[in-house]
């Protein structure tokens, strides 16, 4: 059997589905950052040549998917399943990308944890033979996300230090059956639960997501009977400085020490330490572009061997928030392994 259950929330693959090709696109700021070398394509204009930000976001997603397919050497007709998601209402950029690519489509959404859900479902479909090849795809755009969840950037609304900058980036991975040694693949999955410690402030997403990250990581290590040291790197998606501090504190309380030594955040890697971005980078594009770009490259080059990518999502609903509801968090973890 290809799939071995590790516990309630986790499974591993005996033959990890392999990443045949990946594609990462970003905006101008992301393309000027510390990980600029890892981007396949950078849009210097926030409109990406379109007349709305929403269309720009869709264009960026589609480009990432097309690059992944080109690198994998797979025509889009060869792909049996597209799992894609984004932050916009009705997963609009993903649906329109699915329309453009013509690939059978599952829309996935768990906020900024979406890329790991897409990789989980895609790898499952490939591992059990439901799909010969699958494409996982996700992204975010600062102008569409800020407008939808908080205020349009153009308003210039004042932000508190705990607020984050939604990145402009998209990442895609074309998955297929394992072909041999030395390739980077998805070795296992831990599906997250929704955790809510009653954070209601949409300018403090780090605090809303940190408990979910701590929960998923604690469960993952227990179900896999592993220590943090078993990973070269443990990556949260987009906790920001505020969320990272809370997460490490919660893990300490959960009896999971030594995480800090191996831990970093995709948003921090992507944008560096820059006060301009307040608490740090966030958005689906963080885990998608860093995990499938920079981290994938380090794994491929043998500089890393096993990484736990924990994409963190704040399930913020502006409507529920206005109805005095809090912001639940979720975090899905994916083992990326060269083996």
Single out the segment in contact with a copy of itself by CB under 8 A; choices: 15-23, 36-44, 274-282, 318-326: 318-326
Alpha-carbon distance 190 to 15, whole Å? 17
What residues between 202 and 231 interact with a copy of itself by CB under 8 A? none
| Among the listed residues 298, 296, 334, 284, the one whose alpha carbon sits nearest the alpha carbon of residue 60 | 284
Residue 89 or residue 227: which is nearer to a copy of itself going by CB? Answer: 89
Q: How far is the CB of 189 from a copy of itself (least distance, A)?
A: 8
- Per-residue x/- marks for a copy of itself, 118-147, CB under 8 A? --xx--xx-xxxx-x---------------
Instruction: Report DSSP state, residue 268.
Output: H
What residues between 68 and 87 interact with a copy of itself by CB under 8 A? 80-81, 85
Locate 274 and state its tokens.
């820059």
Distance of CA 2 to the CA centre of its chain: 25
Q: Is 312 in the site for a copy of itself (CB under 8 A)?
A: no
Q: Is 161 in the site for a copy of itself (CB under 8 A)?
A: no
Q: How far is the CB of 178 from a copy of itself (least distance, A)?
A: 16
Using DSSP's 3-state secondary structure scheme, residue 244 falls into helix
Locate 4 and state its tokens.
């071995």
Residue 99 or residue 253: which is nearer to a copy of itself going by CB? Answer: 99
Can you list the pairs that 322-327 forms with residues at least 24 positions away whose Cβ atoms lie under 8 Å? 324/200, 325/200, 326/196, 326/197, 326/198, 326/199, 326/200, 326/208, 327/196, 327/199, 327/200, 327/201, 327/202, 327/205, 327/208
Q: Is 92 in the site for a copy of itself (CB under 8 A)?
A: yes
Site residues for a copy of itself per CB under 8 A: 1-5, 8-9, 11, 51-52, 54-55, 80-81, 85, 88-92, 95-96, 98-99, 102-111, 117, 120-121, 124-125, 127-130, 132, 189, 191-196, 315-320, 323, 325, 328, 330
């Amino acid at each position: 059997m290809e799939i071995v259950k590790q516990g309630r929330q986790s499974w591993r693959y005996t033959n990890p589905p392999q990443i045949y090709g990946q594609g990462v696109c970003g905006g101008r700021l992301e393309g000027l950052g510390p990980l600029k070398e890892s981007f396949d394509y950078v849009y210097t204009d926030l409109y990406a040549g379109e007349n709305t930000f929403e269309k720009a976001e869709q264009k960026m997603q589609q480009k990432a998917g097309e690059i992944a397919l080109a690198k994998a050497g797979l025509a889009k007709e060869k792909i049996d399943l597209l799992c894609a998601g984004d932050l916009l209402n009705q997963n609009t950029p993903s649906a329109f990308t699915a329309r453009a690519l013509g690939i059978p489509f599952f829309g996935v959404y768990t906020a900024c944890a979406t890329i790991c859900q897409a990789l989980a479902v895609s790898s499952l479909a490939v591992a059990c033979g439901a799909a010969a090849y699958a494409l996982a795809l996700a992204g975010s755009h600062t102008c569409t996300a800020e407008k939808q969840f908080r205020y349009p950037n153009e308003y210039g609304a004042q932000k508190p230090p705990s607020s984050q900058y939604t990145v402009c980036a998209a990442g895609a991975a074309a998955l297929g059956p394992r072909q041999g040694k030395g390739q980077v693949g998805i070795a296992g999955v831990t599906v997250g639960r929704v955790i809510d410690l009653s954070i209601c402030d949409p300018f403090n997403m780090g605090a809303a997501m940190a408990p979910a990250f701590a929960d998923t990581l604690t469960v993952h290590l227990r179900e896999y009977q592993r220590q943090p040291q078993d990973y070269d790197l443990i990556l949260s998606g987009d906790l920001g400085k505020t969320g990272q501090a809370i997460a490490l504190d919660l893990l300490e309380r959960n009896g999971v020490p030594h995480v800090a030594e191996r831990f970093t955040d995709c948003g921090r890697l992507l944008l560096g330490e820059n006060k301009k971005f307040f608490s740090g980078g966030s958005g689906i594009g963080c885990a998608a572009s860093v995990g499938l770009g920079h981290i994938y490259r380090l794994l491929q080059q043998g500089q890393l061997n096993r990484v736990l990518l924990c994409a963190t999502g704040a399930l913020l609903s502006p409507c529920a928030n206005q109805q005095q509801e809090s912001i639940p968090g979720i975090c899905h973890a994916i083992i990326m392994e060269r083996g």
